[in-house]
Amino acid sequence: MKELFALKRKWILLLIPISLFIIIICRASAFIAEYVFARFIFRILANIIGAVTRWFPFSIAEICLYLLPIIFLYILIRFIYKAVKTKEKRGFYIGKGILNAICFLSIVLNLFVVLCGTNYYRYSFEEFLSFDKQEYTKEDLYGLCSFLAEKVNESQKNVKVDSEGVMELSYESTREFLDVAGDVISDYAKDYPAIKYSIGKVKPVLASKYMSYTRTVGIYIPFTMEANINVDTVAYNQPADAIHELAHLRGIMKEDEANYVAYAACVNSKEPDFIYSGYMLAYIYASNQLYEEDIELYRKVRDTLSIGVKRDLVANSKYWDKFETPTGNKISNISNKVNNTYLNLNGQEEGTKSYGMVVDLLIAEYKELADESN
């Protein structure tokens, strides 16, 4: 009986070549990645998993993260005990343990591929927009930054601020804020069939403050279909961060595209907090690019920012300065390297720099709007 069970278990190992084959065909065909996986297989599995996990007010993935070391230690001690106790079957137990570990990794790999990996190779979200990326000049970038600076100044007037003039979220609770985030992306997705379906929810990370040591503001966990965000950061970041992770939850895996969806969903909503957050996200990425190309033009735009916007930017800098410690910097460097490697392995050759590539989409949209107004 044991031999039969072990034989059946070996079939799980086939998930490794199956997973690799799926990635190969999706890399070769964006059509298959889009219509076979993203809009069919992924959508079905994601809705099933999301339908369960969405009812938990906390992040199941985060709880599992805390429990995994305990479970791993228990399994390891039990494995060593059996291997030592039964000398005559030591080889059998060691072989069985190795087989179990590989089978577990096979299942994890296959779930990752189906619930996340194939979506890196689907059609670019640009395919569903009314404009295309194109070459742009420094003047185009300056024009975009000036436009966004005007928008952040206008939208900042509509948000709630604390006694120091720094934005604070206008919602009564974190739960209400995150529920609104789900509504915001659902409203935006109505015009885009590629993401027009509802699945899991965005969850607050309980250890958000400690998450900041990794310089991470959000993370999508495909195994539980949860978008997790850091709710300890300054207020203006959080709405756009929530939508960014929800974009991943709906199958938009490329970081620049998730950033664009975050921006577009926010600024097209009716929520003042989200509108301001969306414009701030776009302004920061665009102005950072302008700083790299022409520091004088960058300063010229920066000087047009209102006092309220500047207070928020200063508050953000002060927040992250708290984690500029030797330990914090080491954790941040490790986190950045891990994320960079992860993105490289999933076809994003630019690694963490891909986040900033949202500027290409922002300029394309800005130029289209400029052409329409002429």
Domain assignment present for residue 37? The answer is yes
Pairwise CA distance, residues 279 & 240, whole Å: 9
Strand pairing partners for 219? 228
- Looking at residue 228, its pLDDT comes to 94
**220, 302 Cβ separation under 8 angstroms:** no
Q: Residue 222 sits in which domain range?
A: 132-373
Determine the straight-line distance between the first and last CA of the chain, rounded to whole angstroms.
78
Are 153 and 22 members of one domain? no
Are 161 and 211 members of one domain? yes
Are 84 and 180 members of one domain? no
Are 290 and 216 members of one domain? yes
Are 117 and 136 members of one domain? no
- Other CB atoms within a 10 A radius of the CB of residue 119 amount to 24
Are 226 and 171 members of one domain? yes
Among the candidates 121, 143, 160, a domain finishes at 121
Domain assignment present for residue 93? The answer is yes
Are 166 and 69 members of one domain? no
Are 162 and 58 members of one domain? no
Strands 226-229 and 218-221: antiparallel
Pairwise CA distance, residues 81 & 104, whole Å: 21
Domain assignment present for residue 76? The answer is yes
Are 206 and 98 members of one domain? no
Domain assignment present for residue 126? The answer is no
Are 236 and 355 members of one domain? yes
- Looking at residue 85, its pLDDT comes to 73
Are 263 and 337 members of one domain? yes
Domain assignment present for residue 127? The answer is no
How many domains does one find in the chain?
Answer: 2
Pairwise CA distance, residues 110 & 229, whole Å: 25
- Looking at residue 174, its pLDDT comes to 93
- Looking at residue 147, its pLDDT comes to 94
Phi then psi dihedrals of residue 220, to 5 deg: -100, 130
Are 177 and 291 members of one domain? yes
Among the candidates 121, 147, 174, a domain finishes at 121
Among the candidates 77, 101, 121, a domain finishes at 121
pLDDT tens string, the chain, 374 residues long: the values are 444 445 466 788 889 999 999 999 999 999 999 999 999 999 898 889 988 998 898 899 999 989 988 988 888 887 777 777 766 666 667 777 788 888 889 999 999 999 988 999 999 888 888 777 778 888 889 999 999 999 999 999 999 999 999 999 999 999 999 999 999 999 999 988 888 776 778 999 999 998 888 888 999 999 999 999 999 999 999 999 999 999 999 999 988 899 999 999 999 999 999 999 999 999 999 999 999 889 999 999 999 999 999 999 999 999 998 887 666 556 556 655 655 565 565 555 554 443 447 888 898 888 877 666 55
